[in-house]
Amino acid sequence: NVQALLHQHPKSNKGMLSMVDHLKRLCIDHYFQDEIDNIMDSSVDLLHSDDLLDATLSLRLMREVGYYVLADDVLQKFTNDNGDFNLRHSKDLRGLLSLHDMSHLNMGEASLYKANEFSSKHLKFALQYLEPNLARYVMKSLDHPYHVSLRQYKARHHLSYLQNLPTRHTAIEKLALAEFQMKKLQHQSEMQEIKRWWVDLGLSQEIPAARDQVLKWYMWSMTILEGFSFSRYRVEATKVISMVYIVDDIFDLVATQEELCLFNEAIKMWDLAAAESLPSYMISCYKALYTITNDIADMVRKEHGLNPINHLKQAWATLFDGFMIEGKWLSTNQVPTSEDYLRNGVITSGAPLLFMHLLFMLGHDLTDDNNDHILRVISCPAKIMRLWDDMGSAKDELQEG
């Protein structure tokens, strides 16, 4: 039924673009990629619309699918000679919401800084005059903008909004509800599997000082790997994430400097025999880490014909070296430069190591031809994650140093 809606040919692409937006926000767009591509290709003219909603919605959706569109050019007609937005747009609620969403795709453009300021100001002012459901939607949009939030969590919120609109999209709503239910059952099954693995592993009992938050760590995998076909990868990625946290806590809270040096050397050797001289809790951690990594390498070899074990071993060794550098800074009261801190902090976030595992699981290889490109693809989100994580942990972890 939804597919039939997308194959209609209305006089204007306006309604079709709005429908594409709903599908994306409800996380059901993956069923209709061909139809969405066709709609996007035929909606380029809406970028030049005099309607704020049409222009900003098409601008955001075009950028999301990879079109190169200059925001300053599109938004120019809605501003005065000073580049400030015309006040007549301050009453256009849907246009303001769309402008606010668009402003978070800013790549350093002056018009989008002003768009964020203008839309935020007038949406906040409008809250007191809106009926409760709409006011709640606007408040959530301000607090958790679409582009800097997690789609799966925003989807429920968007469905509630659709259900309160005068014109209902019944087929889309039914499909979204069915998708929610299927995903819920699948994620519950994955969480049960991960919980069993974690309990059987026993590291939380053996290392009481370490964090015991495996279901929280699963949320990471759940949000970066969407789709039913990635179930096995979500489970394996959660195991990798769990080991990063355990190793981090061993370095920060448990081990002596001498034990850490031995641990670091053993990881470089990548041999279970090398761990025999370590304390028992480190041996258990080493065995778990070793087994998980080799299991993932075997899976990649069977599914994609690649052998990533050397890259994965090196990624673990790099992470351990990064933790050793942080420990040295702390033990000697050395304050690194911001550049040195961030360079090493990107590594100790664990993100490059996780992305390395993910890329191989998804069938990408590291070659001489693509090595630089892949490493840049990894380092940019890792840097963002490091900075966001630091801002959060400064408030809630209270770790000394």
Q: pLDDT tens digits for 76-121?
A: 999 998 889 999 999 999 999 999 999 999 988 999 999 999 999 9
Confidence of residue 401 (pLDDT cuts 50, 70, 90): very low
CA dihedral 322→324→329→330, nearest 10 degrees, is 120
Q: Is the pLDDT of residue 395 over 80?
A: no
**Neighbouring C-beta atoms of residue 165, cutoff 10 Å:** 10
Q: Is the pLDDT of residue 392 over 80?
A: no
Distance of CA 314 to the CA centre of its chain: 24
Q: Read off the pLDDT of residues 134-190 as tens digits, 9 standing for 90 and up.
A: 899 999 999 999 888 888 888 988 998 888 888 888 999 999 999 999 999 999 999
Within 202-253, residue ranges assigned H as helices are: 203-206, 214-224, 231-249
Whole-number pLDDT of residue 394: 62
Q: Is the pLDDT of residue 397 over 60?
A: no
Q: How far apart are CA 53 and CA 49, in angstroms?
A: 9
Whole-number pLDDT of residue 399: 53
Tell me the whole-structure pTM to 2 decimals.
0.86
Q: Is the pLDDT of residue 389 over 90?
A: no
Domains of the chain with bracketed CATH? 1-174 (1.50.10.130), 202-395 (1.10.600.10)
Q: Name residues whose C-beta falls within 8 Å of residue 360's C-beta, 6 or more positions apart in sequence.
A: 296, 297, 300, 304, 306, 308, 311, 312
Q: Read off the pLDDT of residues 210-229 as tens digits, 9 standing for 90 and up.
A: 889 999 999 989 988 988 99
Whole-number pLDDT of residue 398: 54
Mean pLDDT in residue range 40-69:
90
